[in-house]
Structure 1
Amino acid sequence: MKLYSVLVFHKNVDTSNVNLLKSEFNLSSFSFFQRGSVQEFMTFTAKLLVERSGLGARSSVKENEYMCHCYVRNDGLSSVCVTDIEYQQRVAMSFLGRVLDDFMSKVPASQWPAIKSDKDCSYAGLKDLLDKWQNPRDADPMSRVQEEVEETKIVMHNTIQSVLDRGEKLDDLVKKSENLSDQSKLFYTQARKMNKCCNYV
């Protein structure tokens, strides 16, 4: 998973003009000679998405092997990130929300119209956020929980496989089990005969 850029814009609620407030890029995976063009294209695409999005909108657009995720808040403060296809949409939207909350806490809305370029904006948190969210597991608690659930599934599957690999048969385990009622054992036996359940083990 790769997070290539994050850009913060202000969309004027009255005029719909869009102004870039701050941006940060991680283009190390591109050749040195491509980086300038890639950065310009990402900035152009991000601004276009904000211009075409309504207030309060969230959207994701696929472009070749890249995804552009856009979040425009009701107050016009907006953010766009460009990721690879593997970067989850939910995580990208969480990232954009975090970026906008952090930006707003450090740059009051009264200053937004006065910012004409990156250099005019004193906000310095984008690089840290971009670096931190390169690995969603470290930045997003939901990603960590999801990965742990997936790991648990794998461990459980491997445990069942290892029991069967030692030569024990599930049929024998069911017969020996004191925790299963006679009715459950009969159901299992009939289901095995009909080959309708338990054939995954």
Structure 2
Amino acid sequence: MSRAIRSAPSAAAPTFAALALAAGAVVAVLLGVYGSVHQPTGRTLTTLGFSSLISMKVWLAVVAGMLALAQAATAAWMYGLVGGSKSAPRFVGPLHRATGALAVLVTLPVAFSCLWSLGFQSYDTRVVVHSVVGCLLYGALVTKVLVLHGRPTPGWLLPAAGGAVLTALVLVVMTSAVWYLGTQGVPTSTGY
């Protein structure tokens, strides 16, 4: 059963909800500002065993995208949109949390590499969208985590924050890994 169904919002719910949204906005803006003012190094700190930085970024983004799809499916199941029942099996909640945690962990080396090596880029529309939505992804994630683990909030806020994380992650993957695979093919050992 979802958190939104279990807990009724208190009188402080709108205040906490506003603070959670503000914290997410601050994180998104700070990432964008850092990416804009940081002088990109163009260097690779680690490839985590992949043949190149681009290979690491593409394949980890693909994994994150697949985990995002698992997140969407398990969230829909928990909210009674799958299976015709209002109550999902007991394994669905832990599976949802595990795929979410893995998706975040998988995106961290990619995001760090993007910010450190490349910075906030704006040389074409796809790259601007990727840069902006990448910052929004982590802002939405902060909001979702605060809503999930904080005080009770309005019932709509958790699925809205989760939907924002999912949408941002899908857009980031589409404007990076999917674009790369579609235009450049499978990454080779060359590249940054």
TM-score if structure 2 supplies the norm length?
Answer: 0.29
Instruction: Provide TM-score, normalisation by structure 1.
Output: 0.28
Q: Which has the higher helix share?
A: 2
Q: Which has the higher contact order (CA 8 A, sep 6+)?
A: 2
Of Structure 1 and Structure 2, the greater strand share is in: 1
